[in-house]
């Protein structure tokens, strides 16, 4: 794969290169759920080189907020805020893709009316969530539909359904967190597929085929009853036949190896691509900082690469790599690039997440 060659998605949308900005939580939105001026500046600084920017995730339901300072898409009053983000990203030349989710049991108790989840189990010392009723699950499906409508009204080029990182969609798919006895426990993919269908219905009703819909997933969980690589491949096999435009695997290292897996592939990306078999493009991600990293990642078999932490360090990384210039691979904490204040402070407080100097 040549990272600087264009790619055309299955809806005939052309992306100018194979590099997208990965979604990263900023913790820096306004308290009312609208985007802050600092976030607008952050996106503006990073929208020039990549072909698409996948935003920090927006929550689709009042009960679905996952972080302080998070943007919302759960009510029509947020359309204008979302429009600011879309216009800013597009003004730099990138496609604007709004990531949407419900945090489920990962919601902080002080950020939501009530912490809810697939089932009422406690993990990692977190509050015990109340298990959602069947009717409430169906309402959240409708909430994804409405959030997609708002993204369309705001002028976004697409949405990414966030089914990764232990949030609600993953909670329903995982045997570790889904102990339900209703239809959503009998078929742990059901909620995911209903959400995909609801988003697609919003697209068909309010947009045209050029509107991009992607799905992000985590490949495995560490718990004994958690998601295995083999189970993820079963899910991906089904998702690859859905009306989606791409799949996006969430992992910390682009060439990570599968753990609980019965096949012969040496990397998760290879295993995923064997299953997808060309039906949808796959975005890979994880620890791409240098030109050498990019060269290595370009040979793992993915169709696109998401750049995350390196764009925090070096906002114009794509342009500099393409011009053959040197890039910073550690965040200069004394003279940082354009970053929202709260995001910058959180980065500094979590050694090991972003390389720093």
- Is residue 125 pLDDT above 90, yes or no? no
Residue carrying structure tokens 């990549």:
50
Catalytic amino acids?
Answer: 167
The answer as to whether 2 is a domain residue is no
Contact by Cβ (8 Å): 66, 103: yes
- Region for residue 245 given its phi and psi (left: phi exceeds 0; alpha: psi -120 to 50; beta: otherwise): alpha
Contact by Cβ (8 Å): 82, 97: no
Token pair for residue 325? 């210039």
The answer as to whether 154 is a domain residue is yes
Dist. CA 200–CA 101, nearest whole Å: 15
The answer as to whether 354 is a domain residue is no
- What mean pLDDT is reported for the chain? 97
What does each C-alpha distance from 52 to 20, 86, 162 come to in angstroms? 5, 11, 16
- Return the pLDDT at 121: 87
Residue 124: pLDDT band (50, 70, 90) is confident
Enumerate the H helices of the chain as residue ranges.
37-45, 79-91, 134-153, 168-173, 183-186, 190-206, 229-239, 268-276, 291-297, 309-313, 317-323, 341-349
Residue 126: pLDDT band (50, 70, 90) is confident
- Return the pLDDT at 235: 99
Across the range 232-261, mean pLDDT stands at: 97
Those residues with Cβ within 8 angstroms of residue 307's Cβ, 6 or more apart along the chain or in another chain: 19, 20, 21, 22, 50, 285, 288, 317, 318
The answer as to whether 21 is a domain residue is yes
Range of the domain at 329: 7-349
pLDDT tens across 296-308, in order?
A: 999 999 999 999 9
- Return the pLDDT at 65: 98
Across the range 152-159, mean pLDDT stands at: 99
User: Could you say which DSSP state residue 209 is in?
Assistant: T
Residues in the chain: 357
- Return the pLDDT at 123: 75
Q: How far is CA 128 from the centre of its chain?
A: 25
Dist. CA 60–CA 83, nearest whole Å: 16
Secondary structure class of 80 (helix, strand, coil) = helix
The answer as to whether 242 is a domain residue is yes
- Return the pLDDT at 127: 83
The answer as to whether 356 is a domain residue is no
- Return the pLDDT at 247: 99
The answer as to whether 357 is a domain residue is no
- Return the pLDDT at 291: 96
**Number of folded domains that form the chain:** 1
- Is residue 46 pLDDT above 80, yes or no? yes
- Is residue 178 pLDDT above 90, yes or no? yes
CATH number at residue 133: 3.20.20.70
The answer as to whether 355 is a domain residue is no
User: Could you say which DSSP state residue 62 is in?
Assistant: G
Q: What is the DSSP string of 151-165?
A: HHHTT-SEEEEEE-T
Q: What is the DSSP string of 232-265?
A: HHHHHHHHTTSS-SEEEE--SSTTPPPSS--S--
Residue carrying structure tokens 């998702």:
239
Residue carrying structure tokens 């070096």:
314
Nearest to 277 by CA among 306, 250, 239: 239
Residue 39: pLDDT band (50, 70, 90) is very high
- Is residue 122 pLDDT above 90, yes or no? no
């Amino acid at each position: 794969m040549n990272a600087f060659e264009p790619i055309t998605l299955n809806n005939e949308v052309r992306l100018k290169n194979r590099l997208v900005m990965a979604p990263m939580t900023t913790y820096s939105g306004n308290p009312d759920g609208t985007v802050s001026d600092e976030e607008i500046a952050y996106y503006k600084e990073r929208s020039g080189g990549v072909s698409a920017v996948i935003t920090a995730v927006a929550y689709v339901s009042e009960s679905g907020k996952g972080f302080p300072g998070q943007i919302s898409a759960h009510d029509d009053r947020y359309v204008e805020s979302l429009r600011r983000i879309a216009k800013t990203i597009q003004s730099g030349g990138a496609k604007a893709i709004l990531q949407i989710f419900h945090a489920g049991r990962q919601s902080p108790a002080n950020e939501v009316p009530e912490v809810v989840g697939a089932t009422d189990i406690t993990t990692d010392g977190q509050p015990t969530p109340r298990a959602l009723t069947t009717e409430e699950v169906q309402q959240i499906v409708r909430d994804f539909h409405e959030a997609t409508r708002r993204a369309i009204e705001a002028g976004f080029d697409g949405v990414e359904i966030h089914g990764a990182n232990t949030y609600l969609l993953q909670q329903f798919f995982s045997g570790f967190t889904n102990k339900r006895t209703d239809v959503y426990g009998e078929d742990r993919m059901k909620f995911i597929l209903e959400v995909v269908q609801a988003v697609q219905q919003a697209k068909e009703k309010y947009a045209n085929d050029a509107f991009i819909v992607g799905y992000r997933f985590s490949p495995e969980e560490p718990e004994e009853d958690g998601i295995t690589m083999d189970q993820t491949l079963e899910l991906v096999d089904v998702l690859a036949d859905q009306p989606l435009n791409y799949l996006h695997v969430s992992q910390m290292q682009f060439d990570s190896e599968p753990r609980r897996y019965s096949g012969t592939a040496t990397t998760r990306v290879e295993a995923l691509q064997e299953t997808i078999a060309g039906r949808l493009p796959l975005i890979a991600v994880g620890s791409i900082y240098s030109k050498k990293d990019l060269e290595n990642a370009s040979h793992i078999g993915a169709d696109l690469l998401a750049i995350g932490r390196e764009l925090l360090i070096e906002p114009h990384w794509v342009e500099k790599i393409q011009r053959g210039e040197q890039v910073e691979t550690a965040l200069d904490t004394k003279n940082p690039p354009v970053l929202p204040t709260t995001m910058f402070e959180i980065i500094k407080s979590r050694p090991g997440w972003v390389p720093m100097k």
